[in-house]
A and B are shown apart, each in its own frame.
Chain A
Amino acid sequence: MSATLIPETGSAASTLRRNFWRGVWRVMRRKPSRLVGVVILAAFVLMAVLGPMLLPSPLPNDPTAITQPPSAEHWFGTDPQGRDVLALVVTGSRYVLLTAAITALITVVAGTSIGLFSGFKRGRWDTVLMRLTDMKLTIPGLPLLLVLATVWRFGSPWQMGLVLGLLGWGGVARAVRSQTLSLRERGFIEAARGLGLSTTHIIGKELLPSMAPYIAMNMLIAVTGAVYSQVGLFFLGVLPYESDNWGVMLNLAVFQAGALITPNAIGYLLGPLLAILLLTLAIVLVVDAMDEIFNPRLREE
C-alpha cells in the first residue's frame, strides 16, 4: 500500500478539528471515568490479538485440580478439565472480539449505504426501505437466531459475524437517514449541488464527516448487541462449538459444572461473566462520552 498523505490545507477545517479535539479533551478531563472506557476497550483488543499467541496451546491442564475455586495460583479457579479459567477467558476473547469486529464492519457499511440512499432518494424507495427496517426491528432477534441455528452453522466468527451484521444494520440505517434528512432540510445538500459538486463528493467529503459520530455511536450500540447475542447463543447451548469462548464457558459452568449449586465452580462462572460485564461497561462509557462530545445540549452548564 502506497499511502500518500495529503495535508488538509483548509484553515476552517483545521480550526474545526482543533476545536473538536479540545472538546473531546474537555469532556474527558471533566469525567476521567470516560477515559477508563477507552482504556478498557483497548486492553480487550490487545488481549484478543496478543493473548492467544502468548499462551501455550492447548492450555496446560492439571487432572489433580479440576473445578477448583479461585486461589492464589489460579485467580479464577480452574475448569472441569483442570485448566486455568483466566487463561480460558483470554483465549476465548478472540472469538468474541473478532465476531464483534466483523459485525461492526457489516453493520456500518450496510446501515450507512441504506440510510444514505433512503435519505437521498426519499419517496417510494425510502418508504419501502424503512418498512423493511421496521420489520426487521420488530422480529425478535434472539428467537430468530435460535431458529436460524437449526440450518446455519455458527461455528466460526466469520459465519457468526455475517449473520449478526446482516440482522443488525437497522439502527445505523435509521440514524443516518434522519441525519441526511435533517441536513437536507437545512439546504445543505441543495447548496452543495448549486456549487456543482458531485454526489460522491457531497457524500464523502461533506455528509459523512459530519455524520461519523452518529454512525460510530450506533455502530457501538450494535456491537454491544452482537456481543450479547453471540455469547448468549453459546450460553443457551443450541450451537455446536469448535473452541472455548465466553458463552461456551458460561454454558458449561452453569449447566454442567453446577456453578449455581456448588461453590467450587464459582470462578468458572465469574471469569467470563466479569469479562462480558467489563466489555459492556467499556462500550457504554465510550458511547456515553461520545454522546456528550457530539451533543452539546447534554453538556452541563
Chain B
Amino acid sequence: MTLIARRLAGHLARGFVMILVVATISFFIINNIPGDPMAARYEKLVEGGMAPEAARQAVKVLYGFQPDGTLWQQYTEFIGGLFRLDLGVSVSRPGTPVLDVLTDAAKWTVLPVLAGTLLSFLVGIILGVYAAIKRTGRLGDALSVSGSLLHGVPQYVLALLLTMIFATLLGVLPADGSVDILYEPGWNAGYLGSLVEHALLPVLTYALSAYGGWILAMKSSVVTVLGDDFILAAELRGMKRSIVFRYIARNAILPLFTMLALSLGLLLGGAVFIEKIFNYPGLGWLLIGAVNDRDYALMGGAFLLITVGTILANIVADLFYTVIDPRVRSGEEVS
C-alpha cells in the first residue's frame, strides 16, 4: 500500500510540473500573439470612455493578467488565477467564464474516448491472441495486416471514410451534432436513443483508430509468452488447451496496461479531428473554435484541460498496473 502511495505522490508531483509547463506555454503564446490583442482591447475600452484603471481591470478579467506590468508580474497573476480555477472569460461567448464552458464540453470528449478505448481494447486483445496463435496461417496474417493498416491510417481519414459510408451512402447514422433537438433533454427514451445514435460514429472512429495498436501489441506479447518455460511445462503436464490458453492470455495482457495511458492520450489528441468532422461539441471542437475566433483564454483553457486528461490517464493506468502486476508490487524494477 505504501508503494502505491509513493508512486501516486511521484505522479502528482510530475503532473503538477506538467500543468505548469503547459500553462507557461499558453501564457507565452497569448503574450506573443501578433497584434497584441490585450493592448488593443485596452485601447478600445479607453477610447470608449472607460477610465484607464477600470479598463485595466476589464482586460485582467478577460485574459487572466493585466495588460501592462512586467512579464513576471503578468506571469504570476496568470498562474495564480489558474490555481484559483479562474481561467478568464470567454470572448466568443461574452460573459461566460472559461471554466464553465470547459466543464460543459468535457463530457462530450471524455465519454466517447473512454468508450472507444474500452471497445478497441477488448476486441484488439481477443483478436491479438488469435493472430499470435495462428500467425503462420491465413487468418493470423489477415488479422495482423488489418492491425497494421488501421494502426497507420490517420484518424480524420477514418472519420471521413466512415461518414461517407454510413451517413452519406447508406444514410443510417447521423453525421452531425451530439443529439437531435427534437427531443426534450432528460431521461426519456427518445433523447437517450438520439444521444447514442449520434455517439456511434465518433466512438466507432476512436475504436477503429486504436484497435490496430492493441492487436499488434497483444500479438507480439503473446508470441513472447508462448516461448516461456511455464507454458511448455503446462503442456507437458497434459493440461487442457483451454487452461493453457488462459495462462497465456493472463500473462500476455499485463504489459499492455502500460499502453493504456498512451492510447488514451492519443485519442484525446485526436478528438480535435473527430469532433470537428462530426460537429461534436467536445473539448477539441472548442479548441478549434477558440483558435479561429481568437478567443485566447478559452484556447489556453481547452489546451490545458486536454493535457490534464492525458496526465490523469497516465496516473490511473500506472496505478492500475501497480496493483495488478506482482513484479511491481514486490518492488522489483520492471523496465
Residues on A with beta carbons closer than 8 Å to the beta carbon of B136: 300-301
User: Would A284 and B154 be within 8 Å (CB), given that A150-B291, A151-B32, A151-B33 are in contact?
Assistant: no
Residue of A with least CB distance to B135: A300
Known contacts A139-B307, A254-B160, A273-B161, A151 near B29 by CB under 8 Å? yes
- Tell me whether A140 and B287 are in contact in the complex, defined as CB-CB below 8 angstroms, given that A135-B18, A254-B277, A284-B149 are known contacts: no
Q: Any chain A CB within 8 A of the CB of B258?
A: no
Question: Is the pair B273, A150 in contact by a Cβ cutoff of 8 Å?
Answer: no
Enumerate 19 A-B pairs (CB-CB under 8 Å) in ascending A order.
Answer: A135-B21, A138-B265, A138-B307, A138-B310, A138-B314, A140-B307, A142-B270, A142-B272, A143-B284, A143-B302, A143-B307, A147-B287, A147-B299, A150-B291, A235-B156, A238-B288, A238-B292, A277-B153, A280-B154
Among the 9-residue stretches B47-55, B122-130, B162-170, the one with 4 or more Cβ atoms under 8 Å from chain A is B162-170
Instruction: Place the interface of chain B in its size category.
Output: 35 or more
Asked whether A276 and B154 contact (CB < 8 A) given A138-B18, A260-B163, A269-B160, the answer is yes
Docked complex Cα distance between A146 and B154 (Å): 17
Residue ranges of B at the interface with A (Cβ–Cβ < 8 Å) = 17-18, 21-22, 25-26, 29, 32-34, 135-136, 148-149, 151-154, 156-157, 160-161, 163-164, 167-168, 175, 220, 223, 265, 268-270, 272-273, 276-277, 284, 287-288, 291-292, 294, 296, 299-300, 302-303, 306-307, 310-311, 314
Nearest to B309 among chain A residues (CB) is: A140
Let me know if A281 is at the binding interface, CB within 8 A.
Answer: yes
Give the chain B neighbours of A147 by CB distance below 8 A. Answer: 25-26, 29, 287, 291, 299-300, 303
B265 surroundings in chain A (CB, below 8 A): 138, 140
Q: Is A190 an interface residue (CB 8 A)?
A: no
Residues A281 and B154 in contact in the complex (CB < 8 Å), given A143-B284, A149-B291: no
Within 8 A of B (CB), among A125-160: 135, 138-144, 146-151
Nearest opposing residue in chain A for B21, CB measure: A135
| Given A260-B164, A260-B167, A281-B149, A140:B269 Cβ within 8 A | yes
Give Cα A238 to B22, complex, Å: 20
Residues of B close to A298: CB separation below 8 A: 220, 223
Query: Contacts A144-B25, A144-B303, A147-B26; is A238 near B156 (CB within 8 Å)?
Result: no
Least Cβ–Cβ distance between B28 and chain A, in angstroms: 9
Contact partner of A238 (CB less than 8 A), chosen from B168, B220, B291, is B291
Give bound CA distance, A151 to B284, whole Å.
19
- Return the CB mask of A244-282 against B: 1 if under 8 Å, else 0: 000000100010000011000010010001001100110
A232 CB–B CB distance under 8 Å: yes
Contacts of B160 in A (CB 8 A): 250, 254, 260, 269, 273
User: In the assembled complex, how far is the CB of residue B18 from the closest CB belonging to chain A, in whole angstroms?
Assistant: 6
How many angstroms between the C-alpha atoms of A66 and B34 in the bound complex? 37
